[in-house]
Amino acid sequence: MKWTIHQLHQFRHKEMAIDEYVDVSDLKEIDKLIRDISLVHVQGKADIGSTKFTFHLQVSGTMVLPCSRTLVDVSYPFSIETTETFFMNDYDAVSTEEDTHLVKDDKVDLLPIVKELILLEVPLQIFAEEGTVQDGAPQSGEGWEVIKEEQWNAIIEERAKQKVDPRLAALAKFFDKDKNE
């Protein structure tokens, strides 16, 4: 994922295909939410000009992140499409919609850009499937348990049907009076 300017200029009149698997496991040290990450598949092509190198890339892989509710591991597949352009000189860099970079030390290195794109792909929240929750946080304890929304609604309806405490009966009539007005 790193080329010298001389190597790139050899592809000047023909298409340069990119199809590599790269190890970006050091992202686990940068973002502690990433528990694991597979080898990342980088595919695409490069258009080589005299002062401009344009890379059209498809970056895909899978990272393991913690569930936002239960902290259980969740596999999160990602696929990123990007176009990155490298310019030899400052004055060649024209304001465009593409992501632009300057060539440093006569080398083009795509790996830091791929890592940055993956870090931007980490979601703020991710939730595990219903069936995998047993492995995560406890679902019950002494005097409590996690219930579904339907169960909660049934409990609320049941309490609404219960008799009103005689000491609060006058208060219930007060609210009925407000409804009639």
What local confidence, expressed as pLDDT, does residue 62 receive?
Answer: 96
Asked which of 33-37, 56-60, 75-79, 139-143 is least confident by mean pLDDT, the reply is 139-143
Boundaries of every domain in the chain: 2-121, 140-176
What local confidence, expressed as pLDDT, does residue 64 receive?
Answer: 94
Task: Give per-residue pLDDT as tens, 111-167.
Answer: 999 999 999 999 999 988 776 655 556 677 888 888 888 988 888 888 877 776 777
Phi, psi (deg, nearest 5) at residue 132? -95, 0
Mean pLDDT calculated for residue range 88-111: 74
Model pTM greater than 0.85?
no
CA angle (155 as vertex; 154, 160 as ends), nearest 5: 95
- The amino acid that residue 56 corresponds to is H
- Three-state secondary-structure class, residue 150: helix
106: CB partners within 8 A, 6+ apart: 4, 5, 6
Q: Specify whether the CB–CB gap between 25 and 116 falls below 8 A.
A: no
Task: Classify residue 177 by its DSSP letter.
Answer: H
Higher pLDDT, 146 or 24: 24
In whole angstroms, what is the distance from residue 127 CA to residue 26 CA?
Answer: 24
Q: Specify whether the CB–CB gap between 27 and 115 falls below 8 A.
A: yes
What local confidence, expressed as pLDDT, does residue 167 receive?
Answer: 77
